[in-house]
Chains A and B, each alone.
Chain A
């Protein structure tokens, strides 16, 4: 009706202004998280429907498996479980020893982190950023910036939390950087995403740094987002370049970014001592 008139022009101008305002606010501040959460409930049925075929086929696959296959699976899991438990025994005693030593040193005790399994939804997001949707949200106390792991290593972190689902940025997204250290000698560096799911760039590694192909990188916990000590990647390329201030070092993520279907959400548990420490620091600042 107003397709050509002044009213249309005015409305157009208003919409443009409104979009620009939205983008500015969404980029800089967090006021719009609720708006996004609201709309996300409206679009959730679409996301659910889209991922339904893949979840349905996996459900069918699980339910139509033959008895023999199940028995075989069960046996395999049993032996794996026994193996892991044996390893765990060693780990438990080590953990107790570690705690005792830390107490001796007056350092804060590390607690075990709380985890929850989440499933990836088969929904394609923007093809030029590495993001996926998982089926846990505000309802499950997921928070922005929460670390995500899979069975083999660090997977990424939560970037948007909606009531039912949340989106996760993989650690290979070009906009992602993760403080890591070399497990062998504690050399600290930063692993930046490259946009390829099999490659991370290690930033600012000096040419003479002690880093070798095959080194395991673990989270250093310095960024304050990831708990320390989780495996991240394996170094695959080390090329010192004397003409440049830093060496070219590449690593490949240990997490199975392309085919993991289940991931772990991690809650960092802060021990009482650390809390007290943080409080005194705050007070000192005042």
Chain B
């Protein structure tokens, strides 16, 4: 393990920060429920590509950051993202070899799982969203996954992140 050089940590963090940026980027009101879960997508990508470097720990910290950034209950996104990362790392060998559209389906399931956890927690805290639009991000995240995947793969290859 020691021979494999770890490089490109900065690149990984840069992509995550850009994802945070998109998470709060102002959108028109009608488009807001359909904002893809950028941070979850980026975490899923890095968990697939480099599961030994990006896994539940970073996912948890990113989730906590999202909680503060969007003003939600401290720990709800942290929990959801840690669990999503856990399953992604568990299944990364299978998901990696899927064709892109099938990966999209897996991503849909993973993001929806995260959202399910969040809606649960919100329900317990007495702040449950009352519209089916709540599930919009799962669908848009799955739709945009191929683009995110190809983009991040290019970045990973260009900067030789390993």
Q: Interface on A for B, CB 8 Å cutoff?
A: 1, 3, 8, 11-12, 15-16, 18-23, 26-27, 32, 35-36, 39-40, 42-43, 46-47, 49-51, 54, 122-129, 131, 133, 159-160, 167, 174-175, 195, 258
26 contacts across the A-B interface (CB closer than 8 A)? A1-B52, A3-B51, A3-B52, A8-B89, A16-B79, A16-B82, A16-B83, A19-B60, A22-B78, A23-B75, A23-B121, A26-B74, A26-B75, A27-B125, A36-B74, A42-B65, A46-B69, A50-B21, A50-B25, A50-B26, A123-B24, A124-B25, A124-B26, A124-B70, A131-B71, A258-B29
7 interchain residue pairs of minimum CB distance: A22-B75, A19-B79, A128-B129, A26-B74, A23-B75, A127-B32, A19-B75
Chain A's closest residue to B127 (CB) is A175
Check A160/B134 contact, CB under 8 A, given A3-B52, A15-B60, A46-B17: no
- Nearest-Cβ distance from residue B29 to partner chain A, whole angstroms: 8
Q: Which residue of A lies closest to B125 (CB)?
A: A27
* Chain B residue nearest in CB terms to A168: B71
| A residues near B55, Cβ cutoff 8 Å | 3, 8
Contact A46 B20 (CB under 8 A): yes
Q: How distant is B42 from chain A, measured CB to nearest CB, in Å?
A: 14
Q: Which listed residue, B17, B26, B32, B125, touches A54 by the CB 8 Å rule? A: B26
Contact across chains for B26 and A15 when beta carbons are under 8 A apart: no
* Cβ of B33 under 8 Å from chain A: yes
**B72/A126 in contact, CB under 8 A:** yes
- Chain B residues, Cβ within 8 Å of A43: 20, 65, 68-69
Contacts of B26 in A (CB 8 A): 50-51, 54, 122-124
Q: What is the bound-complex CA distance between A175 and B122, given in angstroms?
A: 12
Q: Is the CB of A3 within 8 A of B89?
A: yes
Question: B83: nearest residue on chain A (CB-CB)?
Answer: A16
Question: By the criterion CB–CB under 8 Å, are A39 and B33 in contact?
Answer: no
| Residue pair B69, A127 in contact (C-beta under 8 Å) | no
Give A1 to B86 CA distance when docked, in angstroms: 14
17 other A-B residue contacts (CB within 8 Å) besides A127-B32, A127-B35: A1-B52, A8-B56, A11-B56, A11-B57, A16-B79, A21-B75, A23-B75, A23-B76, A23-B121, A32-B74, A36-B74, A39-B65, A40-B68, A47-B24, A47-B69, A50-B25, A124-B32
Q: Is there a chain A Cβ closer than 8 Å to B130's Cβ?
A: yes
Nearest CB on B from A98, distance (A):
39
Contacts of A3 in B (CB 8 A): 51-52, 55, 89
Q: Does B99 contact A (CB under 8 A)?
A: no
Give B74-97 as 1s and 0s: 1 = Cβ < 8 Å from A's Cβ atoms: 111011001100100100000000
B64 within 8 A of A: yes
Task: Please name the residue on chain A nearest to B74 by beta carbon.
Answer: A26
- Given A15-B82, A46-B20, A20–B75 Cβ distance below 8 Å? yes
By a CB distance below 8 angstroms, the chain B residues around A8 are 55-56, 89
Establish whether residues B130 and A195, one from each chain, have CB atoms under 8 Å apart when the complex forms.
Answer: yes
Asked whether A15 and B56 contact (CB < 8 A) given A124-B24, A127-B33, the answer is: yes
As a 0/1 sequence over residues 8 to 41 of chain B, the CB contacts with chain A under 8 angstroms (1 = contact) are: 0000000001001100111101001101000000
A19 nearest CB neighbor, chain B only: B79
Minimum CB–CB distance for A137 against chain B, Å = 13
B56: which A residues are within 8 A, CB to CB? 8, 11-12, 15
Cα separation A20 to B121 with both chains bound (whole Å)? 10
Question: What's the nearest-Cβ distance from chain A to residue B16, in Å?
Answer: 11
In the bound complex, what is the Cα–Cα distance between A124 and B25 (angstroms)?
6
